[in-house]
């Protein structure tokens, strides 16, 4: 019974962590696009996006990441089920994707800090593509956890990669239409 409570809390904080990661990158896009606006709109928007990003990052995303990790550690090392999972190949692959998620989170933190200092090192188009990283990791982890198979998750990841390519092609097509209409 204790295990189900821990698992529920882990899942809740994983969901809020991903929500924060998805939204922070969207705020990065808006922030970068605000740089192209005329004054005073530019300054007003950037100030607001900095506040929104700060609150999202430190009140939701970071705490969710920490709490999801604590409950995951608890499940893996202090419950009989977790100890059994550690010997299964699908869990090793899942933990590899979790490591990628931490790296993605840390890169988002770096971008967050740069934008807070008004350092522009990326484009809004880069951020749109970057946002797909969390989506791919999410798909891989969900398929792994549900299928509990170290191989079948590949089909889900390939599917999301193909879906991402279609989204990017659609984005490029839309961008061309938008640029043509603005000419």
Annotated binding residues: 10, 94
Which is it for the CA torsion 173, 175, 176, 180, positive or negative? Answer: positive
> Within 56-152, where are the H helices?
62-78, 80-85, 89-116, 124-147
Q: Residues annotated as binding site for heme?
A: 10, 94
Residue 2 makes CB contacts below 8 A (sequence gap 6+) with 79
User: Alpha carbon of 152 to those of 44, 143, 148: distances in Å?
Assistant: 48, 8, 8
Residues 6+ away with beta carbon under 8 Å from 24: 53, 56, 57, 61, 108, 112
Classify 125 as helix, strand or coil.
helix
141 exposed, middle or buried (CB, 10 Å; 0-12, 13-18, 19+)? buried
Burial class (CB in 10 A: 0-12, 13-18, 19+), 110: exposed
């Amino acid at each position: 019974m204790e295990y189900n409570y821990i698992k529920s809390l882990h899942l809740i904080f994983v969901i809020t962590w991903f929500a924060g990661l998805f939204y922070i990158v969207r705020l990065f896009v808006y922030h970068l696009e605000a740089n192209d606006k005329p004054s005073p709109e530019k300054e007003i928007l950037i100030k607001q996006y900095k506040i929104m990003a700060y609150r999202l990052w430190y009140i939701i995303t970071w705490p969710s990441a920490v709490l999801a990790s604590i409950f995951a550690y608890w499940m893996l090392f202090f419950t009989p089920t977790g100890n059994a999972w550690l010997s299964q190949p699908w869990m090793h692959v899942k933990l590899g994707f979790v490591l990628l998620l931490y790296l993605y989170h840390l890169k988002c933190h770096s971008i967050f800090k740069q934008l807070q200092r008004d350092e522009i090192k990326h484009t809004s188009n880069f951020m749109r593509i970057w946002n797909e990283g969390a989506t791919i990791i999410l798909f891989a982890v969900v398929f792994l956890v549900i299928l509990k198979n170290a191989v079948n998750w590949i089909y889900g990841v390939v599917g999301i990669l193909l879906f991402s390519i279609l989204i990017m092609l659609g984005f490029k097509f839309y961008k061309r239409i938008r640029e043509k209409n603005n000419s």
